[in-house]
Amino acid sequence: MRSDVDAAITRLAGWLRETQRGVAFTGAGISTESGIPDFRSPGGVWSRHQPVLFQDFLADADARRRYWQIRRESVPGFLAAEPNAGHLALAKLEEQGRLIAVVTQNIDELHQRAGSRRVLEVHGTAMKVKCLSCDKRWSAEEIHARLEAGEDAPTCDACGGLLKSMTVSFGQELPADVWQEAMQLSRQCDLFLALGSSLVVYPAAQLPETAKRSGARLVIINRDPTPMDEVADLVINASIGETMDKVMDVI
Ligand code: ZN
């Protein structure tokens, strides 16, 4: 088993050495290694709360209070988390000219904090808040302080509009420009590295499928099997941080 993983690491390092247009795609699994719980897992935020649909958020003050209560519980974990070896490896690979972008389902900005420059956030970011009416923006930290001070559904101090985290909520469309760019990168890359994504949630699975169909090598690193394993060129079921650390040692 160990030697299988070692052989896989050597192969991946070889492919990364050759590429100048790799794309990484990351899901919750890379952030759980920084201590951020997967929303969907037991103990994650959706095991304790019903998600607030975007339409309800707009229409209903109670739904907005529920929404901000969930934020109030989840934001401190994001603020306390630090990028791990997996995030740092991707930033380094971009700096070395091997990766052209990171496409992420995560909303914690750990890639940017690790030093990645081109990060496409297909589900937005929880680290910024904006006014839905005038587009004024705040850090999640500033709004968190207002929640802690007793506000239960903060509004805009400039125009009175509704504030919302810059995440894509259930019932809200993915940002079209970001999604188009992610699809285009998937078509153009020669190596698609999927890290910590179950590749189940639509439309996430479309990206590795597109990359593979366009001739890229597909590499999956995930704790658990995924539905894309069968078509992947390489699958490593291990810790992302530990694996990428070893890859960076031999690249
Ligand atoms: Zn406003």
Q: Domains of the chain by range and CATH?
A: 1-36+83-123+173-251 (3.40.50.1220), 37-80+124-167 (3.30.1600.10)
Distance from Cα 216 to the centre of ligand 1, integer Å? 44
pLDDT band at 3 (very low <50, low <70, confident <90, very high): low
Distance from Cα 137 to the centre of ligand 1, integer Å? 9
Distance from Cα 168 to the centre of ligand 1, integer Å? 19
Q: What is the pTM of this model?
A: 0.94
Peptide bond into 203 cis (omega under 30): yes
pLDDT at 47: 66
pLDDT band at 45 (very low <50, low <70, confident <90, very high): low
Query: Residue written as tokens 């896989």?
Result: 8
User: Which residues are marked as active site?
Assistant: 123
State pLDDT tens for residues 129-171. Answer: 999 999 999 999 999 999 999 999 999 999 999 999 999 998 9
Listed as own residue / partner, the contacts of 47-55 with beta carbons closer than 8 Å and 24 or more positions apart are 48/73, 51/169, 51/170, 52/169, 52/170, 53/169, 53/170, 53/171, 54/169, 54/170, 54/171, 54/172, 55/171
Distance from Cα 103 to the centre of ligand 1, integer Å? 29
CA-atom Rg of the chain in angstroms = 19
Q: How far is CA 59 from the centre of its chain?
A: 28
- Sign of the Cα torsion 246, 15, 113, 210 reads negative
Distance from Cα 58 to the centre of ligand 1, integer Å? 15
Angle at 7 between CA 235 and CA 18, to 5 degrees: 80
State pLDDT tens for residues 183-242. Answer: 999 999 999 999 999 998 778 889 999 999 999 999 999 999 999 999 999 999 999 999
As given in the structure block, the two tokens for residue 195 are 């890290």
